[in-house]
Amino acid sequence: MNHVDWARLNELRADIGEEDFADVAMLFVAELQEHLDGLAPDKATTADFHFLRGSAANLGFVTLVSACSMAEAACNTSQPPDVEAVRTAFAAALSEVAPHVPELAAA
């Protein structure tokens, strides 16, 4: 299963430029990680998952986008969001990207 839309990630790389890509991508990953670290299932809101989904979409982390969309929908219907699915999707995307963008694995 592909957790990353490589066309999107490569488009981001082309837009930013090879020289700055790793730094920008590491910022996105660090923001995602920081937000996920502070995310408690009983306190998570649609805004949390909207933020995460936007950052994930910029990086082409498609599985994470999907997990965030489902968690956001759960919040909108007063259901508990599956924060663990979001964390798992993030880890899967990082694992897929790591061999190709080693800087992200270290973020």
pLDDT in single tens digits along all 107 residues of the chain: 799 999 999 999 999 998 888 888 888 899 999 999 999 988 999 999 999 999 999 999 999 999 999 999 999 999 999 999 999 999 999 999 988 877 766 65
Domain count, the chain: 1
Residue 35 within a domain: yes
Tokens of 96: 């897929």
Residue 77 within a domain: yes
Tokens of 20: 């700055």
Domain of residue 29, CATH code: 1.20.120
pLDDT of residue 103: 73
Tell the burial category of 102 from Cβ atoms under 10 Å away from its Cβ (0-12, 13-18, 19+): exposed
Secondary structure letter of residue 4 according to DSSP: S
pLDDT of residue 22: 84
Helix (H) or strand (E) holding 32: helix 18-37
pLDDT of residue 105: 62
Tokens of 38: 């502070």
Q: Report the predicted TM-score, pTM, of the whole model to 2 decimal places.
A: 0.91
pLDDT of residue 34: 94
Residue 87 within a domain: yes
Domain range enclosing 78: 6-105
Residue 1 within a domain: no
Residue 60 within a domain: yes
